[in-house]
Amino acid sequence: MSVNVAVAKGRLLGRTLKRKRWIYGGIATLVVLGTAGYFFQRNLTAGAAAPEPLYTVGYGSVTQTASTSGTLQTVTTVNLSFANASTGLLKTLNVQPGDHVKAGQVLATLDSTNQQTQVASAQVQVKQAAGNVATAEANLAKAEEGPTAATIAAAQANVAHAQAALQGSQLQYQAAVAAYNDRTTQEQAVVSAQNAVSQAKVALQSAQTSVSSGAATNQQQLTTAQQNLTRDEATLTTDQQQYGNVTAAQVQQDYQSYQSALSEYQSWSQQAYVGSNPYTTELSTTQQIYQEANTAYQALQTAQQVVQQDQAAVAQAQVALSSGQSSTQSSVSQAQEAYNAAVKNLQQAQAVYNDQTSAQEAVTQAKNTVTQNQTSVQQAQAALQEAEQPPDAASIQAAQASVQVAQAALQGAQVTLNTDETALQQTVLTAPIDGVLLQVNGAAGEAVSGSQPLFVIQPGNASQLELNLSVSETSIGSVNVGDPVAFTVTALPNQTFNGKITEIQPQPVTSNNVTQYTVLANIANSSPKLLNGMSVNATIQTNTVTHVLTVPATSLVTLGNLEGVYVEGTRPAGESFFGGGAGSGAGNKSATAGGTGAAHANGGSRKAAASTSSGSASGSIGGSAGGNATAKTGKAKTSGNFGNAPAGTYFQPVQIGLFGTNDVQVTGGLQAGESILLVPPGSTAAASATTGGA
């Protein structure tokens, strides 16, 4: 059984890395011949070109896996617990013993307050780190670009602006000195202030007079309206006493009676009867009653309308009196404020006329402004000179180092976000299969422990199958409940089945001095052709990082205790192996790495300064390594480059994160856009000679 998992830099020096070197070397020929998925380009370095194909370093995803084998077996019961939850509060419990559940059904959730907070914080960190990368890359591009016509023009414009500001401040200084020596302006200010006081006083007196006259007029209008109302109310009362309460309905009824009598009178007359009309008296009576009622009704209505009009006039006069008082009082207040302000201005003008302190302060301030503007002119001229200078190697190297640090920080923030998002997803527990709940070991609000299963499920299908896998002791630490699994069986070689880890049994199984652990997994896309007892080859996806720097595994080279790649071009003078930088990263199973390094000479140099490097790392498989090393290089044994680098390249140590099937995460030593050898010379031959030995 082979395990395709990676550890950090310290672990890469042992047996695992050598086995990987053999594996990746074995597929190197396929990668080179296939060429699909990688970018090849010609060496652009002056001199001899590297004959090997090149790869452009960029961002991608790396998935770490563990390869294992096992058998298919019939599911008896499934023990189900929250992944990686040693403790936690059970927020919801949606089922009880005896319930029938479906695969994918949410059974319970943990309190995810902390996980949600961590995800939100990690998202902010990723956004900030991405912004820092963009800023660092922009600064690098600016440093590499050197002076441009636009930059120089902007600097020249700044100089011209500063010079214009200086000239203006010098004129202001001259004016301040002249004002200090000439008091005509202050005298004119006093006269102007005196005139303003006189005008404000007249306006105040006018406003006060308006208050008195306006109030008297409005009061007289109110008195007249009230008298009219009293008179007309008396008239209405007299009419009501005379006529009583006559309504429109009464008038209408009397009118109908009159019309009825008139109709009978006219009908008798039209019949040509002899004698007097018998309806004459009735007609006369009803007509008189109607006319009297209508007259009374109209008189009452007219009196009431007059009273209502008088009431409205009184209300309007009251409003006019009130608003007039408010308006005129506001005018008086405004006039009073204007008068007070004019008096204050006069006092200030007189104080200025009598005291030249303010004029002296104006002279001093104007002189200080001239001094400041002179400094601004000098700074603008210095900035113009700097803008006209060609690109500086030290500035470019510093900008490159800043980009590497920012990229490493972004990678670390991204993998931390991945870890936090996975932790949040693991607060929801779903049924892996259809079945019946036999046990529920918990209640909402209780603390959940990983020491015993929260649920025990009996499959609803008696022929339900699951994977029984054997995972090595070195790999079990990276495997967790919920990890995706892909597997094949010999009987169906062209079909891949998928599932997820459902249980990790803590009891080890030792055979022939080899310790392994039993891991169970469900089957998401089962087939009737899968039978109990079939042998399987499985791959467990144990970790994934996204948007990180990656290189093909075939490009890695080991020189002593250093892991690195061959970079196209020549190492910039004075640049260190690691550029003095440090990197860090964490995936779903945390991984961190950090290191510092001093400068190494380019290949072919016969003199090189002593260099030191130190670093520590811990990998997702477990274990850690750290150390310090001091190396002094003397005479180079090769004709050209450090580490027998091919012509046109140099050896660049790198810091390694996760190992994927084909790609490797780089956490330090490289930056996006650099070109490296896809397959270093001699790697295939070396791989053929090493068949997985120690």
For 325-383, the pLDDT digits (tens) are 777 777 788 888 898 999 999 888 888 788 777 778 889 999 999 999 999 999 999 99
Four-point Cα dihedral 372, 374, 375, 380, nearest 10: 120
In sequence order, what are the beta bridge partners of 666? 656
Q: Which long-range contacts (CB under 8 A, 24 or more apart) does 244-251 make?
A: 244/296, 246/293, 246/296, 246/297, 246/300, 247/297, 248/297, 250/293, 250/297, 251/290, 251/293, 251/294, 251/297
SS3 43: coil
Domains and CATH numbers, the chain: 184-355 (1.10.287)
pLDDT at 324 over 60: yes
Helix H or strand E encompassing 673: none
Give me the count of residues in the chain. 694
Report how far residue 594's alpha carbon sits from residue 626's, in angstroms, rounded to the nearest whole number: 10
| pLDDT digit string, tens, across residues 408-418 | 999 999 999 99
| pLDDT digit string, tens, across residues 551-600 | 999 999 998 888 999 999 988 766 655 444 334 444 444 333 333 333 34
Highest mean pLDDT among 35-44, 233-242, 285-294, 636-645: 285-294
**3-state helix vs strand vs coil in the chain, percent to 5:** 45, 25, 30
Continuous H helices in 244-356: 248-269, 280-354
Report how far residue 250's alpha carbon sits from residue 271's, in angstroms, rounded to the nearest whole number: 32
Of 501 and 618, the structure prediction assigns the larger pLDDT to 501
**Exposed, middle or buried, 271 (CB in 10 Å: 0-12/13-18/19+)?**
exposed
pLDDT band at 31 (very low <50, low <70, confident <90, very high): very low
Q: Are strands 611-618 and 624-631 parallel, antiparallel or unpaired?
A: antiparallel
If you average pLDDT over every residue of the chain, what do you get?
79
Report how far residue 567's alpha carbon sits from residue 554's, in angstroms, rounded to the nearest whole number: 14
Four-point Cα dihedral 107, 113, 115, 117, nearest 10: 150
Percent share of the chain, pLDDT over 70: 79
Q: What is the pTM (predicted TM-score) of this model?
A: 0.43
Contact 562, 545 (CB under 8 A): no
